Amino acid sequence: MASKPEKRVASSVFITLAPPRRDVAVLEEVKRAACEARRGRPWEAPVPMKSPGAGSAGRPSPWTPPGRAAATVPAVPPQLSNGDICAFCHKTVSPRELAVEAMKRQYHAQCFTCRTCRRQLAGQSFYQKDGRPLCESCYQDTLEKCGKCGEVVREHVIRALGRAFHPPCFTCVACARCIGDESFALDGQNEVYCLDDFYRKFAPVCSICENPIIPRDGKDAFKIECMGRNFHENCYRCEDCRILLSVEPTDQGCYPLNDRLFCKPCHVKRSAAGCC
């Protein structure tokens, strides 16, 4: 008698695909400050001088200003372009008038004034800004104020975040180190951090290698989030066969089992064996 055919019972394995998320590890933009030197020395004082009674008008010896700033003055009409024309009012400087020579031009003594407050500058130290003579007080008013201490920035200036800073005032909020023109980062409250402290405080840590997920060699670092954990892209692997797992919801994605990472074939094997 022929034996009855053997019955086969089909078994089912329930597989859950864990959809990961791939994001930039550190969302805050890394910025860089610009450092520049500012010349702030006063220019040499022009000395008023009484012209002789006859002959050509006497003048102080030519003066060479410090620095590299080039003086610009109102244009002198061509018909008056000689050594006895005031560079401000464009009128003749007579031999009997007090005259000064400054910024490679000649002026009536009463014409050589601070272009802001009109204070007489003959015989006084002055500053030149954009070709305009200024007294010290008015010049200081044109300078930027430090974004931290509020004092005038006179020499070296750090430009960052749309403001100017003294170099000692632009520091990391965590370690108080001067940042200078190095790269820096901001937290949610716009506090300034050096990159080391920023990454130490805010960078996510990989669940596998336990190292921070931070940019290296000038390249962005991406983190993979899965099951509430963070991973380096290169650490996001099947825990059995070590194949890299895809972040896409495909057969090459992550099929977790008991909070462990597996590819689909390894998940099936472990599920069938009843172990993890």
Nearest to 160 by CA among 141, 185, 177, 188: 185
161 domain-assigned: yes
Last residue of one domain, picked from the residues 152, 175, 201: 201
Distances (CA, A) of 255 to 111, 148, 263: 86, 52, 6
- Residue 87 and residue 108: Cα distance in Å, rounded? 8
Say which CATH number the domain at 176 has: 2.10.110.10
Nearest to 73 by CA among 27, 113, 105, 110: 105
Distances (CA, A) of 151 to 69, 140, 193, 200: 24, 10, 22, 32
196 domain-assigned: yes
- Residue 191 and residue 117: Cα distance in Å, rounded? 39
Give the pLDDT score at 179.
92
Last residue of one domain, picked from the residues 125, 154, 184: 125
Give the pLDDT score at 210.
92
CB of 89 closer than 8 Å to CB of 82: no
pLDDT tens string for the chain (276 positions)?
444 444 333 333 344 445 566 665 554 455 666 655 554 444 444 444 333 322 223 333 333 333 333 333 343 343 334 458 999 999 998 888 888 888 888 899 999 999 999 999 988 888 888 888 999 889 888 888 999 999 988 888 899 998 999 999 999 999 999 998 888 999 988 899 999 999 999 999 999 999 998 888 777 788 889 888 999 999 999 999 999 998 887 888 889 988 899 999 999 998 888 765
Q: Are residues 157 and 187 in the same domain?
A: yes
131 domain-assigned: no
Say which CATH number the domain at 95 has: 2.10.110
Q: Are residues 209 and 257 in the same domain?
A: yes
Give the pLDDT score at 5.
42
**Which range of residues forms the domain containing residue 67?**
43-125
* Cα torsion angle, 119, 124, 127, 133, sign: positive
Last residue of one domain, picked from the residues 172, 201, 230: 201
Q: How many domains does the chain have?
A: 3
5 domain-assigned: no
What is the pTM for the complete model shown?
A: 0.55
Give the pLDDT score at 74.
40
Give the pLDDT score at 142.
85
The phi, psi pair for 137, rounded to 5°, reads -65, -45
Distances (CA, A) of 23 to 184, 222, 227, 243, 261: 21, 5, 15, 21, 19
Give the pLDDT score at 40.
44
- Residue 134 and residue 113: Cα distance in Å, rounded? 8
Give the pLDDT score at 83.
55
